[in-house]
Amino acid sequence: MRSDKLKLTRRQLIKGGLTSSTVLLLGFHLPGCSSAEEVTQAMLSDGTYMPNAWVMVDRDNQVTVMVNHSEMGQGVLTSLPTIIADEMDADWKKVKGEHAPVADVYKNPAMKMQLTGGSTSVRTTWDILRQAGATVRTLFVRAAAADWEVPETDCETADGSVIHRSSGQKLTYGELIDAAVKLPVPEKVQLKKPSQFNLIGKETARLDTLLKIDGSAIYGTDVNIPGMLNATVIHPPVIGSTLVSVDDSDALKMAGVKKVIPISTGIAVVADTYWQAYQASLHLKIEWTEGNKHIVDTYTLKKKWRELAYEKGDSVYELGNVEDIKDTQGMLVEADYELPFQAHATQEPMNCTADVRADGCDIWAPTQNQGGTHAIATFITGLDPDTVKVHTTFLGGGFGRRGEIDFVTEAVELSQAMKKPVKVIWSREEDMTTDFYRPASLNRMKAILDSDGNPLAWTHRIVGMDHFVQAVPKFIPALAPTWLPKFVKEGAASMAGGIMNTFAAGKGLTGGAGPICYDIENVRLEFVNDDIGVPVGFWRSVANSSNGFVVESFIDEMAIAADKDPFQYRFDLLKGQPRLQNVLKLAAEKSNWGSPAKNGASRGIAAHIFHDTLVSMVAEVTVSKEGVLTIHRVITAVDCGVVINPKIVKAQMESGIAFGLTATLKSKITFTEGRVDQQNFDSFEVLRLNEMPVVETYIVDSNEAPTGIGEVSVPTIGSVITNAIFAATGKRIRNIPFTSDDLAT
């Protein structure tokens, strides 16, 4: 909550500590309060009305919506305010979103903590925000009806005002604040019917666009606190290595350098400016232990995993009994797929600013994990949780990386040591080589088809690393008794492992990775865990990024082996999934599947489900004799329930396609003797603008509850491209990223 708006402590607010204001003790929970201490509405010291935890209304009719999810380009500072603004009939020109503080009421219901991820922002707040908006609308209608002494049913709302139909009298919400705050908050309110939506479903302009154009949007690296020092951190260069010694004599002689400090994650250099700190860090003479240099090596790892792929793994999911189906009972289809480690490579490197004082701690962070940020800062400082405040900035990309809190830990430790505000910024090299990577995997696939080409049995054996266990930073074990077990038990228990690419048939489902439910009676998913110590974590679309590529590539291979059209083969196997059949059919129709494409292009098709969002894609590509791939067009069909803003849906489909194409065509993380080979964007390449295909997105009209859109196109784009390449060349790509040499004829 904004410090300039709330001129009192949270406990004072709870206890009615506002002068000349009204506080009613029912409704929403504020930070630092026991579950019994709750507030419904309050008049803040500047006259701003806060009807509930989600809305503030100024006397000039400005509506501020508290957004409990991080804005990292996916549009939550527009989509979430849209939900409330529509239900309360606010004037859209006077609506803005603001990142919420840390508080129980703002926790992500799907994760049981305040964290943005898993494409859950809209789907977990849809009902909550509609209820909050309708409550505000009802309060203002009742206030106006009482003032005019007319029935509430004679009143209507529009553009931030209540209007009396017969007389034409009108009062703005701002004018009704004093009357509304005195009313009891209604326990039940009437939500709008979809036909009554004015903003939801419309392509309204984003609320943060101008902020980004004029530079007023504050990202983590923009934070500037009076008296602030700057720091950068050098992390162990070899996976698993630790500090032996450091000679900082040369660095300390350099201009602006204040101190060189060993911290829990490495060696920090603190100086007046970032550039001074960075330049000094290059003059440190550091000795590290060898770590896992003899274990973490891409060449030897691939060889090892290919051997492990012949060993039976732990059962992750089973349907029917694959052992009853023998290879001799039908056509055997087999294939191995390999996917590398991937870095997040966010546009803005990791950074955080902390100000630790005797009386409290303020943190400014581009974080996806406000709950974890608050918890680790409270633990490190030993301060009362009420005195630790997290200020969420705009995020220059997240992709799951900013769900970790290692960079937050560094800023808090350094501010505490220096007794001043400290901003930590990583160099691009540190950001690239000190990541929680998307896990690599080897996937051994096997299917047995009957005489008609239909699958009798499906086996998927994965060799890789257990994602979730590794994703927990090893330097925060003391948090185990607090938030971490609750997160594991209540929020992440369904994620059997980020590398556990999941597949389910019929009604089955495992691992929380959003399976395609093809109609196959006998399925077995196995996992061979080989923990080599590489830090791995959540990467955009998590397990689906591997699952989508492997499953949809192999389904295509099965269709070709059965001599059937890849679209029709999928459609027939999805008879239990009519909504997915619908998007598959829509993508095929919009691409003119079955008819020749322009420019002699070849087509590939794929489909996927991610957290109940259904998507299908068709790609049109050509491949030259030299192996030069041109992706002309990608046609997408998506069913994500009620659409808040079609413009944002289309933008996120394009964003995910660009992100997924980078992983398909360009980027990977490899290791040589424990060191990351890729240091910067010269070796970790990303998709260039001239390589981006035309993307057409078709959205299914639906009244189902909204689902997520920020990640759904990532898992699908890889397989749809390689399936199209097969149609063009007859070459099956099973390892990504691939090169022109893999395609050349």
50/198 Cα distance (integer angstroms): 23
Domain boundaries, the chain: 10-213, 220-291+350-425, 298-342+437-743
* Closest C-alpha among 689, 656, 682, 650 to residue 667: 682
pTM (2 d.p.)? 0.91
* The pLDDT of residue 516: 62
Beta bridge partners, 389, equal: 362
Cα(544)–Cα(625) distance, integer angstroms:
32
Per-residue pLDDT tens digits for 147-201? 999 999 999 999 999 999 999 999 999 999 999 999 999 989 999 999 999 999 9
Q: Is 709 left (phi over 0), alpha (psi -120 to 50) or beta?
A: alpha
| Residue 173: predicted pLDDT | 98
What's the confidence (pLDDT) of residue 543? Answer: 87
Contact between 72 and 397 under an 8 Å Cβ cutoff? The reply is yes
The structure tokens listed for 685 are 């390449």
Could you tell me which CATH number the domain at 298-342+437-743 has? 3.30.365.10
pLDDT for 515: 53
What is the fold of 10-213?
Answer: Aldehyde Oxidoreductase; domain 4 (3.30.365)
* pLDDT for the residue numbered 594: 95
Of 391, 381, 379, 380, residue with least CA distance to 360: 381
* Residue 231, pLDDT score: 99
503: closest CA among 583, 446, 438? 446
* Side chain identity, residue 724: A
> pLDDT value at position 501?
29
The topology under which CATH files domain 220-291+350-425 is Aldehyde Oxidoreductase; domain 4 (3.30.365)
Q: How many CA atoms lie within 13 A of 479 on its CB side?
A: 24
With a cut of 50, which residues of the chain have pLDDT below it? 1-39, 468-514
694-699 β-sheet, strand order = 602-610, 613-623, 629-639, 694-699
Phi-psi region of 289 (alpha: psi -120 to 50; beta: other; left: phi over 0): beta
Q: Do domains 10-213 and 220-291+350-425 have the same CATH topology?
A: yes
Q: According to the model, what pLDDT value does residue 651 have?
A: 98
